[in-house]
Amino acid sequence: MERLYITTPIYYPNAPPHIGHAYTTVYADVLARYNRLVGRKVFFLTGNDEHGLKIQRAAEKEGITPKEFVDKMAGVYRQYWVMLNISYDHFIRTTDSYHEKVVSEAFKRLHEKGLIYKAKYAGWYCVDCERYYSPGEYVLVDDKPHCPIHNKPLEWLEEETYYFKLSEFKDYVTKTLSETDIVYPPSYAKEVLNRVQAEGLRDVSVARPKDRVAWGIPVPFDPDYTIYVWFDALLNYVSGIGYLTDDARFQEYWPNVHHVIGKDILWFHTVVWFSLLKALDISPPRRLIVHSFLINRGLKIGKSAGNVIPIEFLVERYNGSDGARYVLMKLFNLDKDVEVTIDLMDSIYNSELADTYGNLVRRVGVLAAKKVKGKVYRRDVDKKIEESIETALGKYVEDMESLEVSKALSEVQELGKALNTYINEVKPWEKSDPSKELYSLLEGIRAVTVMLSPVTPRASTVISESFGFKLVSPRDFKVGSVERYNIVEAPILFRKVQARRESQS
């Protein structure tokens, strides 16, 4: 059986996750569920990035220890992922002892290989990003260097530290970015390549003095230093699948790892990550899927900009996890930033889930109960409907295999519309025995329900159980293969949301 390993970034738990984190995590979950549906063996990893100054300071603010803080926040993140019905196989925490051992061992190995050395460093540092910014990278506000992402003043830091010889990997990184299809969409690989060509690669600091950053994994041979949070964090992708602890599992899954990330952490996941892996004699990831930002009034949604949309708002407004997941996936865009407004999300939910899909399921269910006591036996499927189903399935599989979830949803939507047109044309409610029309409609609903199941797993399960069919792989779907539908209920799944009186964004 084909193996697939899917990861999300591990998030900084200094605050609860918001719509931006949900965007990445739901997308990764949809890939995981789709791939399981088509028969691949999937391991899906998410988790929290628990070390570093940002977390240390968040804990101080609350007057608790960093460990107490991250323990509490791990619970909070898990609850949000339950709320969104995320089917991860493992939740990794960088304070897990198996992970800490891997990080410590990797650091030691690279030091022994001469790829990590000690020297002095001075530069402008952003605590929120946990990284230094060089001139040209930061922005000047009132002549003072500011973080280009967080718009906050940078801190000047001078310290003796450990460096990783990133500069030695310039050719390797360049070759990997230009000769493979790892980075998707490929425009992001070009972006990094241009920067590498223009600036070259400088060695990077991979430790912090302990008196400044105490919360982290100690440098194994020098306890006065703490390992840099990004060195620690990136290694979650290998420790989480058994690197140095369960070699068989690591060998089984690593060759087909798909990392999903936002474009803010592209540099770390290409230049730094590819180099670290090479330094440890590990192959680069199979795929790095990069998406753009959800923005609001032109700014990236995030805590710093103060324009966060809470996950619970989405789940409440759109009738639970399915509605929230659908809206996020319909907005999903790898290339372009997406301006999110509640009006836009409302209209996606109302027109696509409530009207086109939910309403159709309800109408067909009620008609079948009324006209044929809920039993619909196999008939010839209307030719036009059969074609619409087959076209939608074909395009859907192609889009999902090429990681284009929102495009795939548009194909499903086309089929939903065709089914709505058909029901209005053939008017089964006017017929004494509309079994033929109902069977065609049910086959269409079955196809839509299968295709939506990675995005709306709860609704798909409810519909398949209420109508008496199985959720098969969309690759094995055969139109006209169901002997008999047995409709026991006509569920109302997606109640429309009322437009708000004032339109806010």
Tell me the pairing of strands 338-339 and 294-296.
Answer: parallel
Q: Shortest distance, CB of residue 289 to ligand ME8, whole angstroms?
A: 10
Q: How many residues bind ligand ME8 (CB under 6 A)?
A: 21
> Which window, 18-26, 205-213, 357-365, 436-444, contacts ligand ME8 (CB under 6 A)?
18-26
Is 111 marked active-site? no
Judge whether 122 and 160 are in contact, CB under 8 Å: no
Of 9, 145, 242, 323, which lies in the binding site for ligand ME8, with binding defined by CB under 6 A?
9
Reading the block at residue 103, the tokens are: 């990080």
Is 300 marked active-site? yes
Nearer to ligand ME8, 242 or 302 (CB): 302
Judge whether 48 and 93 are in contact, CB under 8 Å: yes
Distance CA 457, CA 195 (A): 41
Q: What are the distances in angstroms from CA 414 to CA 182, 231, 396, 493?
A: 31, 46, 11, 20
Task: Report which of 102, 109, 110, 106 is spatially closest to residue 239, judged by C-alpha positions.
Answer: 102
For ligand ME8, the binding residues in 21-40 under the rule CB under 6 A are 21, 23-24
Q: Please tell me whether residue 11 binds ligand ME8 under the rule CB under 6 A.
A: yes
Q: Please tell me whether residue 49 binds ligand ME8 under the rule CB under 6 A.
A: yes
Q: Compute φ and ψ for 229, nearest 5 degrees.
A: -60, -30
Distance CA 352, CA 77 (A): 29
Query: Quick count: other Cβ atoms within 10 Å of Cβ 68?
Result: 12
Query: How many helices and strands, by DSSP H and E, does the chain display?
Result: 19, 20
Q: Shortest distance, CB of residue 356 to ligand ME8, whole angstroms?
A: 27
Nearer to ligand ME8, 11 or 254 (CB): 11
Distance CA 253, CA 238 (A): 10
Is 258 marked active-site? no
For residue 316, what is the enclosing H or E element?
helix 311-317
Strand runs (DSSP E) across 253-410, as ranges? Answer: 257-262, 287-291, 294-296, 299-300, 338-339, 375-377
Q: What dihedral do alpha carbons 351, 355, 357, 361 form, nearest 10°?
A: 170
Judge whether 452 and 412 are in contact, CB under 8 Å: yes
Selected catalytic residue, list 99, 111, 300, 371: 300
Selected catalytic residue, list 129, 146, 291, 371: 129
Q: Please tell me whether residue 10 binds ligand ME8 under the rule CB under 6 A.
A: yes
> Which window, 155-163, 298-306, 324-332, 342-350, contacts ligand ME8 (CB under 6 A)?
298-306
For residue 464, give the amino acid letter. S
Task: Report which of 368, 482, 491 is spatially closest to residue 435, judged by C-alpha positions.
Answer: 368
Q: Shortest distance, CB of residue 48 to ligand ME8, whole angstroms?
A: 8
Indicate the residue whose CB is closest to ligand ME8.
Answer: 20
Tell me the pairing of strands 90-93 and 41-48.
Answer: parallel
Is 303 marked active-site? yes
Q: Please tell me whether residue 12 binds ligand ME8 under the rule CB under 6 A.
A: yes
Is 54 marked active-site? no
Q: Please tell me whether residue 264 binds ligand ME8 under the rule CB under 6 A.
A: yes
For ligand ME8, the binding residues in 225-244 under the rule CB under 6 A are 233-234, 236
> Which window, 7-15, 377-385, 424-432, 472-480, contacts ligand ME8 (CB under 6 A)?
7-15
Q: What are the distances in angstroms from CA 182 to CA 301, 429, 462?
A: 27, 53, 38
Q: Please tell me whether residue 265 binds ligand ME8 under the rule CB under 6 A.
A: yes
Is 21 marked active-site? yes
Is 129 marked active-site? yes
Is 146 marked active-site? no
Query: Quick count: other Cβ atoms within 10 Å of Cβ 504?
Result: 8
Q: Please tell me whether residue 99 binds ligand ME8 under the rule CB under 6 A.
A: no
Residue with tokens 């399960």: 461
Q: Shortest distance, CB of residue 406 to ligand ME8, whole angstroms?
A: 14
Nearer to ligand ME8, 242 or 285 (CB): 285
Selected catalytic residue, list 152, 170, 303, 407: 303
Nearer to ligand ME8, 24 or 413 (CB): 24
Q: Shortest distance, CB of residue 134 to ligand ME8, whole angstroms?
A: 19
Binding site for ligand ME8 (CB under 6 A): 9-12, 20-21, 23-24, 49, 233-234, 236, 261-262, 264-265, 293-294, 300-302
Active-site residues, by number, are 18, 21, 126, 129, 147, 150, 300, 303
